[in-house]
Amino acid sequence: MFELALDKVQIEEKQGEAFKPFADDINQYNKKFYIESYGCQMNFSDSEIVASILQNEGFGATKNYEEADLVLLNTCSIREKAEQTIRKRLTEFKKVKQAKPAMLVGVLGCMAERLKSKLLEEEKLVDIVVGPDAYRTLPVLIKEAETGQKSVNVLLSRDETYADISPVRLDSNGVTAFISIMRGCNNMCSFCVVPFTRGRERSRDAHSITNEAKQLFEQGYKEVTLLGQNVDSYYWMDEANDEVITFGKLLERVALINPSLRVRFSTSHPKDITDEVLLTMVKYENICDYIHLPLQSGSTRVLQLMNRTYTREWYKAKVNRIREIIPNCGISSDIIAGFCTEEEDDHLDTLSMMESSGYDMSYMFFYSERSGTLAARRFKDDVPEDVKKKRLKEIVELQGRLSYQSNQQDVGKTFKVLIEGNSKKSDTEWKGRNSQNKMIVFPKENYNYTIGDYVVIRVTDFTQATLIGEVIYQ
Ligand code: SAH
Ligand code: SF4
Ligand code: F3S
């Protein structure tokens, strides 16, 4: 999955990107909450649902946890390291809680779901534990905790999609936003904890999705990313029109809102992405030419153990099909090094698949066993850590070369870029993305552009993570 906002080659962790909400109207609220999010974009999106629920309860968001009445961590369990980061963060909160015992500390998200009330025993300062499907009960749980009781709700649901809750956009640039279109996952990849922490897959009402996108557009947003663990299995029955809404149809509905509203999506499972989706992408200029298509391993034998349900050849054919239908499509991947039983030959298969796919970027990890998963129950985590690390290093180096080549090929080309803000380095430069999701930085010069504008840029140079360009069109 995908942290679309992150820079290119990313080693081992996408976790730990805490975000801190705005608080410009904080004084109108009686109480303050502070929230930090970790893990995938779904979690960041959930925090915006939580913020909405809390705002209705009279809580305003603060950026400073020391002044908060309620401190929340929205957590991730995907790898061991993600959980370690959370535990470390909790010890940092301990000091504040000692000085201010009335402050409540809550753990939300996947780690809450995985550890349940065990978390209260392990982490004494935690007052509230809430799983991803139980956020509506937060007000009750907070009231319970205010009386000194520890409160927990980790019930998973078959139908909760929070469709009617209008998210409060946190830490937003006012231009790009995420919309959850489904929750949970039915895939059971053997290494993955998500089906256990997020429950069964369910799709959100298509009307509520298009309405949210419309509202965002009316508020000035120019790009929405449709989010799900496996967006291609989106399925919703539009009873009023007696029509089945597949992911392709949903994409089309969102694209039709306005040609200047860009549409992205993540994540696509290679087994499920259809020609319907690819052809819809070609049909609408505002659907971005970018697909995150996690490979995980290039070895058919390992893929089988991972329960990914495709072979190396099948994946290759899918990449060819994408390139045939959308010649300029950006493709990125997730790779796991050192899964159970992985031999050097399997690893070489992964490297060769990366090369033949020509990824523009990848998120790369070494395998981290998660208890309760199929792999933890069935297979031994038998690749020694130094071997995992060596293979991961080779994978990262190869991706570095592929990203370099991909960026080099863009020099001299022109792209339509949506301006997202000042570049990290300088406020005399803008940053924005092209359709293929590459970040491009360019000087503002004397042009009158502003955040949220589209601008045509010619690429003149590049670094590992960023293209550098200049405005060619006013
Ligand atoms: N739904 C998305 C991915 C969700 S998790 C998909 O199917 O692509 C994001 C990524 O974390 C996965 O693609 C995988 O590469 C990695 N990951 C998941 N479980 C892992 C584990 N136990 N160890 C290491 N990496 C893991
Ligand atoms: Fe995990 Fe596989 Fe579902 Fe992705 S598709 S969330 S990797 S089980
Ligand atoms: Fe992590 Fe849960 Fe997302 S485990 S990657 S936050 S679904």
Q: Strands 467-471 and 429-433: what pairing?
A: unpaired
**Per CATH, which fold does 414-471 belong to?**
OB fold (Dihydrolipoamide Acetyltransferase, E2P) (2.40.50)
- Which of the residue ranges 9-18, 234-243, 441-450 would you say has the lowest mean pLDDT? 9-18
Q: What is the mean pLDDT of residues 343-355?
A: 98
This prediction's pTM? 0.94
Residues with CB under 6 A from ligand 3: 1, 39-40, 42-43, 76-78, 109-110, 193-194, 197-198
Q: Out of 3.90.550.10, 1.10.3720.10, 3.80.30.20, 3.40.50.300, which CATH number does the structure's domain 176-408 have?
A: 3.80.30.20
**Mutation probe of ligand 1 site: the residue of 191, 194, 310 with most atoms within 8 A of C-beta:** 191
Q: 459, 412 in Cβ contact below 8 A? A: yes
Nearest residue by C-alpha to atom 5 in ligand 2 = 187
State how far the Cα of 104 lies from the Cα of 167, in Å rounded to an integer: 23
At residue 358, the pLDDT reads: 98
Which residue has its alpha carbon closest to ligand 3 atom 3?
40
Give the model's pLDDT for residue 465: 87
266 lines ligand 1 (CB under 6 A): no
Select from 113, 192, 194, 227 the residue to mutate for testing ligand 3; criterion: most ligand atoms less than 8 Å from CB: 194
Whether residue 231 has its Cβ less than 6 Å from ligand 1: no
| Residue 209 pLDDT | 98
pLDDT of residue 171: 84
For residue 269, the CA-to-ligand 2 centroid distance in Å is 8
> Could you tell which of 114, 192, 370 is best to mutate to test the pocket of ligand 2, judged by most ligand atoms within 8 Å of the CB?
192
Which top CATH class is 20-153? alpha beta
Instruction: Please determine, for residue 22, whether its predicted confidence score (pLDDT) is greater than 60.
Output: no
| Model pLDDT for residues 222-255, shown as the tens digit of each residue | 999 999 999 999 999 999 889 999 999 999 999 9
Domain boundaries, the chain: 20-153, 176-408, 414-471
Is pLDDT of 20 > 80? no
What are the residues whose beta carbons fall under 8 Å from the beta carbon of 251, sequence distance 6 or more? 226, 263, 265, 277, 280, 281, 284, 287
Residue 1 Cα: closest atom of ligand 2 = 4
Verify cis geometry, omega within 30 degrees of 0, for the bond prior to 137.
no
Q: Ligand 1 centroid vs 78 CA: distance in angstroms?
A: 7
**Cβ–Cβ under 8 Å, residues 387 and 366:** no
Exposure of 448 by Cβ count < 10 A (0-12 exposed, 13-18 middle, 19+ buried)? Answer: exposed
CA distance 177 to 168: 11
